[in-house]
Structure 1
Amino acid sequence: MDITMIGCNLTTALHPTFWSTQDPGSTPEDDGPGKSSGTTRTLQLGVMFGVWYLLNIYFNIYNKQVLKVYPFPATVTAFQFACGTVIILLMWTFNLHRRPNIIRAQLAAILPLAVAHTMGNLLTNISLGKVAVSFTHTIKAMEPFFTVVLAALFIGEKPSFWVVSSLIPIVGGVALASFTEASFNWVGFGSAMASNLTNQSRNVLSKKLMVKKEESLDNINLFSVITVISFIFLLPSAILMEGIKFSPSYLQSATPVSLINTVGTALALVGVFLYSGAKRMKLKLKAS
């Protein structure tokens, strides 16, 4: 299950702009003084980001270890979706979060998102099984590039000059890291790139398809429904592709990292930071 998407949904739910789109009666600022409530929510958001990053680091390292011992990415991904499905069903059963009433129009909009989500997670795990964790996520730093291209093609969203400029160090850094990566192979590289395409297709499709307010779900329920559908999609495919297999083999975990590779990775990360800043600048200009 994509822990990054979990973090995005939880932190979005805590962000003040999320509440501004909800029913005014449910706005958290109404529960107390504005400053106190705002400070508390900012602290909550900061804690959530911290926990999200820590869990993401642990998840990726442990995921790599699992794929070394059990090199069947479709089965591993299906198992991750199965764990998520169990947690979601418990959440709905014990009313920890309101269970959604899915209508046909919602299901039709969610199915393409679930397909993209399934493929994105599967391709990421295929990449993690073939190359170093650091290299997979260096390649995945290219996600903003795919976001800009797909948004321009499918929803007509034109990027600003600063957004486009911020993509240059991302592309350059990923290219530099790829040329100098000791664990490089085309399957790992191609899978990570394809996961960028599918994950960002999911995000663009969600903007394009989930536009009607009466057909939209809150972030937690949307992700929950996508996870359950992804499990249903992937389970039979995993059995057909890999069956039920176990492998006792272990691979060496040490991957040498050169100076140029480190520079390329750092350059890509700087590009992601600049991209985020450029997007915020664009939103501020629109608001003014």
Structure 2
Amino acid sequence: MECLPAFLNGLKSLLGISLFYAFSMSLTFFNNNIIKAYPFPLSITFCHLLMKFTLACIARSIISLYRGEKRIEIPWCSYVREVSPTGIASALDIGLSNWSFEFITVSLYTMTKSTSIIFVLLFAILLKLEKPTLSILIVVLCISGGLFLFTYQSTQFDLIGFILVLSASAVSGIRWTAAQKLTQKSKFG
């Protein structure tokens, strides 16, 4: 009987991970196809972020009404100084990623974008969220080596697209590190 809750939790985790991968792959191929049909990636990014903002406002209002709690109010200067870097990095990450689809294949995009973990780690060390260790260095070197082997003499390699998606990965590192710093502050709830 004691194994059943653990099994159900494992099943929930497996379902969540499977859904995440399915939606992630679907979104990647959708973005690739829509950029080919409508080659204005920054306009698409703007509409994407506007839609997310609208849905977030609606969700926050519904949750606030449902719980009967007053929403946390943050002064405008705090938004500008502390929240906006995460938002700007998010917009640049998505915009540069979408723009890269005009130049590179989905496989090169996926492999290059996976280097964002290197940048997350680099910025986490710079902002003192993480301590550098030998094992972390080995992991970073393995990821970097894999990227080099994957892109070396690639037949469908485009330098502009590669630079765009690598820049998106770097900005993604800033984005997730800034988000981590932001969530550690109690005044933001």
Residue 216 in structure 1 maps to residue 157 in structure 2:
no
State the TM-score, normalized to the length of structure 1: 0.57
C-alpha RMSD of matched pairs (Å): 2.6
What are the residue-to-residue correspondences of 1:151-230 with 2, within 5 Å?
151-155=124-128, 157-213=130-186, 215-217=187-189
Query: Which amino acid is 1:152 matched to?
Result: I
Amino acid of the structure 2 residue aligned with 1:198: V
| Match of residue 130 from structure 1 | 103
1:80 aligns with 2:48: yes
- Specify the alignment match of 1:101 in structure 2: 72
Residue of structure 1 equivalent to 2:25: 57
Identity of aligned residues (%): 20
Please say if residues 106 and 216 of structure 1, whose CA atoms lie closer than 8 Å, have aligned partners that are also in contact: no
Task: Identify the range of structure 1 (112-121 vs 87-96) with the bigger mean alpha-carbon deviation.
Answer: 87-96
Aligned length: 184
Residue 228 of structure 1: aligned partner? none
What does residue 66 of structure 1 align with? 34
Partners of 1:140 and 1:196 within 8 A in 2: yes
- What is the identity, as a one-letter code, of the residue corresponding to 1:112? P
Q: Is the 8 A contact 2:112 2:166 kept in 1?
A: yes
CA gap of 1:121–1:100, structure 2 versus 1, over 3 A, is farther
Q: Residues 183 and 102 from structure 1, CA distance in 2 versus in 1: closer, same or farther, beyond 3 angstroms?
A: farther
Query: Do the aligned residues in 2 keep the contact of 1:142 with 1:170 (CA within 8 Å)?
Result: yes
Cα pair 1:155 1:208 within 8 Å, conserved: no
Is there any run of 5+ residues in structure 1 with no aligned partner, and where?
1-32, 218-288
Q: TM-score normalised to the size of structure 2? A: 0.84
Q: Which runs of 5+ in 2 are unaligned?
A: none
One-letter code of the match for 2:23?
A: L
- Do 1:109 and 1:210's aligned partners in 2 also have CA atoms closer than 8 Å? no
Hey, what's the Cα distance between the residues in 2 that align with 1:55 and 1:66?
16
1:235-273 CA-to-partner distances (Å, cap 9, x unmatched) read xxxxxxxxxxxxxxxxxxxxxxxxxxxxxxxxxxxxxxx
What is the CA–CA distance in structure 1 between the aligned matches of 2:179 and 2:57, rounded to whole Å? 23
Please point out which of 60, 63, 71 is paired with 1:92: 60
Contact 2:118 2:173 in 1 (8 A): no
